[in-house]
Structure 1
């Protein structure tokens, strides 16, 4: 039986240190696992590398225990979003409640996303995804923040378009259309642009939709969001990207 007070104190210190080190190890492992899972979901959806980070407080182990995750941030590499080259997204997610039901894994209270699209990324995207325009007006893309337009330029042609929010996504509305030796009418080109932007910026998961868009000196910046949205169930094929969440 131990009678030395110093020995007892040392044993208690060792026990406490072991407990704390165990908690720290478990916390770090939990964060690594959670960050990786969320990043894989985003990577699957947007086809670009992503990194995720859970908020510092409270401890992630506590968030796991309560199934309530207070804050998650996600950022992508900026290579592309789906087929949109030069697109980058920064996402802030708050108030995630995990509650399994037959139709969902839980809810996300707040999701805000800032999407930036560089001028050169716009040029590459139009060139790669709209063959009818790619060889005509993609020598360069110039932005005009003062009037909120972008100019798609070619050797002898140019199209000035204004990015706007339309039906939850982005649309490039043609303002002026100057094309020499280009036979397609303006209406057909507008339809082609609409189809292009629809595929890029609509039908995002979780009900994410565009709120506003701004032309900057380097490209286009837009704000997307979702509120009180359901997390797709991992079964039933609702969204394969969420299958391993």
Structure 2
């Protein structure tokens, strides 16, 4: 049986949590060493002795452990510049680009406005010139054929450019179909190309090509023939029937039956009598033919601009003829009044 050992009398064997006076050290108090009588420097502990232990207060020992972690630095996007304190001497490129864009905006608006005004002016001038040219050409044709007419220019090039250069490339003209001069029921469709306007005394310019298609209805032929033979016209021709197979036109009346064939003669259109039968009324064939020739000659010959008949055919409802002219001269004002306003 061992006897428990009591506290040692050796001051160096004192527990490390007590001070020199036998009490625990106060927080923040530095450990003290026992000085032996006589002064001098403290002597090191004898061999085998334990060095005095210094215990820090619990609050001091856990200070570092209880300290909250340092928050990470704030995230700064790459396209932004964050500066603290003195600004950087490096220029801010995005700000300069934005400033340049804002400074160029008024210039861009001015350019757009000017362009819009110029475009609006060109469109207005184009519409005005196109309308004036259409009206003048339609008026000239209406004056010549004695019927209403319409004219139109092609989409390109602009009529304004054609007007400035006095060179018109493509014009289409169409009459109402009431009559051409005294020929009733006759309609004309004209295509004109390569018009060059140039005053030279008795000429206003030239026309490169002119092609026209004229249609003459059966009713128009009947009315025209009746007007061609005064007093007897209604008795000679009361109905008109076309025969496309043999290219003839039959004119029946109360007193006769005439079969005629439309033919191109000397650049004009004639109705040549193929057969002539009278029903109890004596009328010489030659007299009827001469009367028809004189009347149709006035209708289809002596057109201006050198227009002549190229071909003619009989259809189911009338007669169709093709007219043309090449390198024609536009007459001056004093030679043809219908073209005075061109």
Q: Does 1:75 align with 2:174?
A: yes
Greater RCO between the two (CA within 8 Å, min separation 6)? 1
Residues 126 and 133, structure 1, Cα contact 8 Å, conserved in 2: no
Secondary structure of the structure 2 residue equivalent to 1:121: helix
1:195 counterpart residue number: 294
Q: Does 1:97 align with 2:171?
A: no
Q: Does 1:241 align with 2:315?
A: no
2:217 counterpart residue number: 118
Distance 2:237 2:117 in 1: 62
2:318 counterpart residue number: 219
Please, what TM-score do these two structures have when normalized by structure 2? Answer: 0.69
Residue correspondence of structure 1 range 41-52 to structure 2 within 5 A: 41-52=140-151
Distance 1:223 1:116 in 2: 9
Q: Which has the higher strand share?
A: 1
Q: Does 1:159 align with 2:246?
A: no
Gaps of 5+ in 2: 1-101
Question: How many angstroms does 1:40 deviate by?
Answer: 0.3
Residues 228 and 291, structure 2, Cα contact 8 Å, conserved in 1: no
Q: Does 1:172 align with 2:244?
A: no
Question: How many angstroms does 1:188 deviate by?
Answer: 1.0
Larger radius of gyration between Structure 1 and Structure 2: 2
- Say what the alpha-carbon RMSD is for the aligned residues: 1.1
Question: How many angstroms does 1:129 deviate by?
Answer: 2.8
Deviations along 1:135-177, whole A, 9 cap, x unmatched?
Answer: 2232110000000000011135210000000011001110010
More divergent stretch after superposition (64-73 vs 141-150): 64-73
Gaps of 5+ in 1: none
Aligned residues: 241
Deviations along 1:83-138, whole A, 9 cap, x unmatched?
Answer: 11100000000010111101100100100000000000111111123225412232
More divergent stretch after superposition (179-188 vs 219-228): 179-188
Please, what TM-score do these two structures have when normalized by structure 1? Answer: 0.96
Residues 94 and 111, structure 1, Cα contact 8 Å, conserved in 2: yes
Distance 1:61 1:21 in 2: 14
